[in-house]
Amino acid sequence: MFQRKLWRDREFLKLWTGQSVSEIGSQISALALPTVAILLLGATPLQVGLLAACETLAFPVLGLFAGVWADRLKRRPIMIVCDLGRTVALGSIPLAYALHALYMPQLYVVALVTGVGSVFFDVSYQSYLPSLISRADLVEGNSKLQVTSSAAQMVGPALAGFLIQFVGAARAVTVDAASFLVSVVSLWWIRKPEPQPNPKSETGRQGFFAEMWEGVRVVFGNPTIWKIAGSTSTSNLGGNIFFAVVLIYIYRNLHVTPGIVGLVFGIAAVGGLLGALSAAWIARRIGLGMTLFISITMGGLAALLVPMAQYGFAIPLLALSFAIGSFINPVYNINQVSLRQAITPDRVQGRMNATVRTVIWGTMPIGGVIGGLIGSTWGILPAMYIGIAIQSLAGVWILLGPVRLKVQPQPIG
């Protein structure tokens, strides 16, 4: 992270700047959307869980298709179109609120549309980076992007809490809509040409499903990649069961205001910044596999502090829990994403990333629905404990594979 090579790369700096602003906006909506549902529209746990599911439903449905298109077409134009679509969708919320016509069905539709945009953008984004910078700079590039993501998690929730408190949750979403326009401008400004897409399979076969199938084979034919995918998807399943109900618990059980919630998330996100800064150093010190195992396991264990907050010291316990989670998230993600990018040929980067995203994000809507159902049927706390238990088991996958890595694996294909 402390390398300075990419500080002199103007094209990377354009991407970095736009995504930094967009990340802050997305953090605002991450708090504002469920707050609109809970506090303005009186949503039930099931409705909040369904809203969370809608945000990620597009990945298991469209993820593989997005991967093929990200390898068939140039990736930067895809990203620009996705940001424009998300701008329009999010901008409809404050407009509907101003017209006194905001209801839960619209929130579901907005979540679905922004989810579709996120699918195509994220697959293209992860696949675009190796064509913008050299592979030797991927860890530095991913670290810098993760640092700003972590910084956004510090600024965004605190700003979101302030905006929700003083202008209302619906109006706060306007900032996220505007941030996507900044991203569009920064992407449009990049002048480095992309390589011409070459999506044909290793055997020379072309065709939509032949190309899609190669992405599946690349992931499930490599034990390192599919075990990382298994670990991440297990963590996401448990985490989304937990997060489907956690804001309801904080607002209704602990009686914490949106302003304080935003402040807690902002303070906790300092851990994310520290994690992004130290991710490469930790992997060098204790090894890549052990880094992945410890970081993914700590995510579930740290969440245990949240239900303990009902017995006292609520704000410090919430802040500590989320700070630990924020720290381990970039440590895990920077190392596993950089590893996947480094061992995969450029021609199949999009399909590899899409297949992995389909698996790891595919459990998120399932977790949201399960969390909502458990919360509505048995209560908020049982849903949280079940989510924590599942999330804590994610490290088992790492023990079966990447923890044994001692040297850089050979590229696929």
Q: Which residue, among 332, 360, 355, has the nearest Cα to 236 in the 3D structure?
A: 360
The domain made up of 5-188+215-404 is a member of CATH 1.20.1250.20: yes
- What is the distance between the alpha carbons of residues 64 and 260, in angstroms, rounded to a whole number? 40
Question: Closest Cα partner for 204 from 35, 56, 413, 397?
Answer: 413
Does 341 have pLDDT greater than 80? Answer: no
For residue 200, what pLDDT is reported?
57
Residue 5's pLDDT is 67
Domain definitions of the chain by residue range? 5-188+215-404
Task: Give the pLDDT mean for 148-177.
Answer: 80
**Which tops the pLDDT comparison, 74 or 320?**
320
Q: Residue 204: pLDDT band by 50, 70, 90 thresholds?
A: low
Asked if residue 108 has pLDDT above 50, the reply is yes
Q: Does position 7 have pLDDT exceeding 90, yes or no?
A: no
Q: For 275-299, what is the mean pLDDT?
A: 87
Phi and psi angles of residue 393, each rounded to the nearest 5 degrees, phi first: -85, -5
Q: Which of 174, 186, 241, 185 is nearest to 29 (CA)?
A: 174
Q: Residue 343, Cβ neighbours under 10 Å: how many?
A: 19
pLDDT at residue 408, as a whole number: 43
Q: What pTM, to 2 d.p., does this model score?
A: 0.71
Look at residue 286 in the predicted model and tell me its pLDDT: 85
Give the CA-trace dihedral at 312, 238, 350, 194, to 10 degrees: 0
C-alpha–C-alpha distance, residues 177 and 192, integer Å: 27
Among the residue ranges 69-83, 144-158, 197-211, 218-232, the one predicted with the least confidence is 197-211
Which stretch, 144-158, 179-193, 295-309, has highest mean pLDDT?
A: 295-309
Q: Looking at residue 2, what is its pLDDT?
A: 45
Query: HEC profile for the chain?
Result: CCCCHHHHCHHHHHHHHHHHHHHHHHHHHHHHHHHHHHHHCCCCHHHHHHHHHHHHCHHHHHHHHHHHHHHHCCHHHHHHHHHHHHHHHHHHHHHHHHCCCCCHHHHHHHHHHHHHHHHHHHHHHHHHHHHHCCHHHHHHHHHHHHHHHHHHHHHHHHHHHHHHHHHCHHHHHHHHHHHHHHHHHHHHHCCCCCCCCCCCCCCCCCCHHHHHHHHHHHHHCCHHHHHHHHHHHHHHHHHHHHHHHHHHHHHHHCCCCHHHHHHHHHHHCHHHHHHHHHHHHHHHHHCHHHHHHHHHHHHHHHCCHHHHHHHCCHHHHHHHHHHHHHHHHHHHHHHHHHHHHHCCCHHHHHHHHHHHHHHHHHHHHHHHHHHHHHHHHCCHHHHHHHHHHHHHCCHHHHHCCHHHCCCCCCCCC
Burial tier of 10 (Cβ tally within 10 Å: 0-12, 13-18, 19+) = exposed
Mean pLDDT, rounded, for 14-42: 84
What tens digit of pLDDT does each residue of 75-104 get? 888 989 999 999 999 999 999 999 999 999
pLDDT in tens, 255-278: 988 888 888 887 887 887 788 788
Which of the residue ranges 137-146, 257-266, 324-333, 380-389 would you say has the lowest mean pLDDT?
137-146
pLDDT on residue 412: 39
d(CA 217, CA 219): 5
Instruction: Determine which of 47-51, 123-127, 368-372 has the lowest per-residue pLDDT on average.
Output: 123-127
Measuring CA to CA, which residue among 130, 22, 142 is closest to residue 82?
Answer: 22
- For the cut 50, the answer to whether the pLDDT of residue 328 exceeds it is yes
- Residue 377: pLDDT band (50, 70, 90) is very high
